[in-house]
Structure 1
């Protein structure tokens, strides 16, 4: 038996052509780019998948995920290779803008009977969406009576399930102000859980940003932070255009600290702060169909 054949998936790195095949599958499905330098990352994240399937080499695994019977495993592969880094109130300057500039007029409109929608795109395990929800609750204690909802979407079904549960390790609250911890969290065994009214404010949905979106109504605020950075430039440009089309007039778009919309010359978006954009006012009628 050769040395290679004796190696376990934990020890065996994908060959360059195997890494290229895995990268192509991921890119075609999601727009996410992984390079040859990511071999160790691919190995560490997929070795568990190979073990669970009883496979000892990447060639067999690639053949499986590209077959008709490998659809579910392809989803599992995408989940494994998707980076999920998040925390409550990450990039706090966005939440300051949300509190002082974006939310007050939207809440006033909601109290006047208008429909207000926000979207956390690439929401991971829900900490971003719940941070937004806490800011809404702080600004409008009567939020449950308003037509105001948050959509939280992610490509990873495991992250969607975690967001729906709203259960987190106590250490996750390190970035949450103490008064908010008291108001919006309760002990649940060894974990903490977000308050039920805030969970009811959010709809969690599995969504691949690279594919067709089912939503028809426009959003007043979209958060998509530290997601687009993993896409190639063409995919990034397409996504910025799609977000712009999904925004209501004067809607807000918040992006990640390393992300920028490269060319605003052909866009109706204008800079409105640090990694923050806003759609110019339009004369078109606001779309009112619901996404849930």
Structure 2
């Protein structure tokens, strides 16, 4: 029986049912890249379903039977796609499977920033009543700029439109956009947005796209939301921008290095609302991503087995 390696400790029962014709091997709750290489060498899987950690050339070389690397989610930046292409290994992703969950997290972070939810909660629990001194930001009529107009970005756009916000977006690949999304270029995102929300994959071309220069081009007091990839942001530049007031607040669900370790400069800093990369972690998304990842892997394997 051929084997499928899951770089995590579990998979939705519905996904496991789809994979019943294969032996499924789990890498554990916190797999390392080296550990994945070792498991590939031990089990020689035909497919890897990627939940955590990275899958690079060494893992691929350790598993000569490997034919497909399937992401349990939409972002494939943890997979060495060039190495996979060189070895005739397909890389597939569960695009859209967690779109609702991540878009809702982006909305929650935007609202938490605009309405000072976290700081007011802490003040209330401390016995304070700040009604006479506090003013929140009203989002109705404000402009939100979206970087990335895929399944997640467009779902978030629909919610922002429902709040009465003007929605502008940049995505060189987006077509047939709804009439409430105005397609613009990146300079317009920096210049015109009251809120900027990132919904794009991480590439070498956009790494640290949010940096000291681009942050200086935004409106003073902008809100930044990131539920995509931490590598999109120069974290030192963002910290300086929040401290100076150029960025009013940042709602972040992803970070340059994960998991975040104790002593990270964002911790305890005013102006940051943080969550541990759980935007796509809901019970529904868990099932959707697992099923999609399993189906994608099986589709590639079936295609490669089919006679020419």
Q: TM-score, structure 1 length as denominator?
A: 0.38
Larger RCO of the pair (alpha carbons < 8 Å, separation 6+)? 2
Query: What TM-score does the superposition give when structure 2 sets the normalisation length?
Result: 0.36
Structure with greater proportional helix content: 1
